[in-house]
């Protein structure tokens, strides 16, 4: 995302939960990057608000995200998005 012309890009991480009857937005934030530290903070924020470990995490191949997911949700199945 860019706020204005010529401004630096900002990351907008988000997470959806997939339910039997559709999906629900779990979390949306604004960050400076898609680094491990940003993703770790993002995931810990959701856990702090009551999110339990999901059965499955589907994500892109971002190394920081994959590392943070392994740390915060070690027992969840992981699948790359296609």
Distance (Å, whole) CA 82 – CA 78:
13
Q: What is the percent of the chain with per-residue pLDDT over 90, rounded to a whole number?
A: 70
Choice between 2 and 61, residue whose per-residue pLDDT is larger: 61
The residue ranges of every structural domain in the chain are 14-80
Query: pLDDT (tens digit, 9 = 90+) per residue, 4-21?
Result: 666 677 788 999 999 899
Q: Cα(49)–Cα(53) distance, rounded to whole angstroms?
A: 12
pLDDT at 43: 97
8-16: Cβ within 8 A, 24+ apart: 11/38, 13/38, 13/39, 13/42, 15/42, 15/46
Q: What is the mean pLDDT of the chain?
A: 90
Q: What is the mean pLDDT of residues 53-76?
A: 95
Cβ-proximal residues to 77 (8 Å cutoff; 6+ apart), any chain: 55, 56, 57
């Amino acid at each position: 995302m860019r706020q204005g012309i010529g401004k630096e890009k900002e990351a907008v991480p988000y997470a959806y939960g997939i339910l039997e009857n559709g999906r629900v937005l779990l979390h949306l934030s604004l960050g400076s990057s898609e680094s491990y530290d940003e993703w770790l903070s993002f995931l810990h924020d959701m856990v702090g608000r009551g999110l339990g470990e999901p059965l499955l995490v589907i994500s892109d191949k971002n190394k920081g995200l994959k590392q943070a997911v392994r740390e915060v949700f070690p027992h969840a199945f992981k699948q790359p998005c296609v």
